[in-house]
Each structure stands twice: as structure tokens, then as C-alpha cells.
Amino acid sequence: MIAIYPGSFDPITLGHFDIITRGSKLYDRVIVVVSRNPTKNPLFTVEQRIAQIKKTTHHLTNVEIDSFDGLTVTYAEARQAKVLLRGLRVLSDFEKELQMAHTNKTLSDEIETVFLATSTEYGFLSSSLVKEIAKFGGPINHLVPQHVALDIEKCYGKSHS
């Protein structure tokens, strides 16, 4: 069974990576789909984000990276994916994620949203939090892959411990 894991990934964090790794053990193939929808003001281009995710997941042979700028369910149908994988951290995620899952169900009855609970150590972690810390020169090496920390460092022109 194919699952897609859609998101902004601006940039990928260890929390995303944890969901991808666990998803890759549950499904035959996991396609990580970087959203091209320009609703947010991203730090990294879609191409940079794809490169970051590829580098992070290169050892996971059943994980593929792609991008898409339409409805997630349209992409899922085109790739014959039956599952939309999402991660749940805190209660505030739940409200937004449930609404999205219900919406997607009205768009395609064949596709199921499956939630993976965050691993306890990443429950607080988000891409925006990492950027916020980095902006003020704080350490981020424990929150994102090493090469991503270096990319962020280049953006903010600061060194991290």
C-alpha cells in the first residue's frame, strides 16, 4: 500500500523524519510531498526542501520525494495512494488535522487519513520553532538533521553550537 506524507517541510525536522521512518515501516511506499501552495512565506524554496528531505532519507529505500501544487487528494489519486499520513503533536494540531481529514474525505471517499502520534521527544518540535531559535542564534543541532542546520545557518548568517 502506498502512503503519501504531505506538508510544508520548511525545513524538515527530526519530528518529520521520525514520522517518515515509522511510516516507511508500515507501508510499501511512502511519498513525501512538498506543498507548492504559496500560502506561507517559506525560508527555503521547494527545490531546496526536496534536496534536504532526499539527503535526510537517502537510506530509506521505499521513500520517495515529490512536490505538488494542487489538492492533496488529487495527487494521492494520481499516485494510487490510499493513505494520507499526518503527524499529531498537541491538541491544537488535532482540531486543524481533523477538519482537513474530514474535508479530504468529502473530496475522495477512497483515501484514508492516518495519524501517527509524535514520539515524545519531538512533541514540541515544529519547523517554525526551529527558525525562531535560529533567528536569534540559538542551538538547533538537536532539532534538525546536521546538513539542514548548516543550511539554516547560511540563511541567518549565524553559527550554532
Print burial letters for 123-136: b (CB count within 10 Å at least 16), e (below 16).
eebbbeebbeebee
Residue 8 as a binder of ligand ADP (CB under 6 A): the answer is yes
Binding site residues for ATP, as ranges?
8-9, 16, 87-89, 97, 122-128
> Least distance in Å: CB of 36 to ligand ADP?
12
Look-up of cell digits 479530504 = 104
**Looking at 22, 89, 105, 160, which residue is catalytic?**
89
> Least distance in Å: CB of 45 to ligand ADP?
15
> Least distance in Å: CB of 111 to ligand ADP?
15
Of 9, 17, 27, 75, the one binding ligand ADP (CB under 6 A) is 9
DSSP structure class, residue 41 = -
User: Dihedral of CA 75/81/87/92: which sign?
Assistant: positive
Contacts of ligand ADP in 85-144 (CB under 6 A): 86-87, 89, 93, 118, 122, 125-127
CB within 8 A of 93, min separation 6: which ones?
A: 87
Binding site residues for substrate, as ranges?
8, 40, 72, 86
**CB closer to ligand ADP out of 44 and 122:** 122
Specify the length of the chain in residues. Answer: 161
Contact 127, 155 (CB under 8 A): no
* Radius of gyration of the chain measured on its C-alpha atoms: 15
List contacts with ligand ADP (CB under 6 A): 7-9, 13, 15-16, 19, 86-87, 89, 93, 118, 122, 125-127
Catalytic residues, which ones? 16, 40, 89, 127
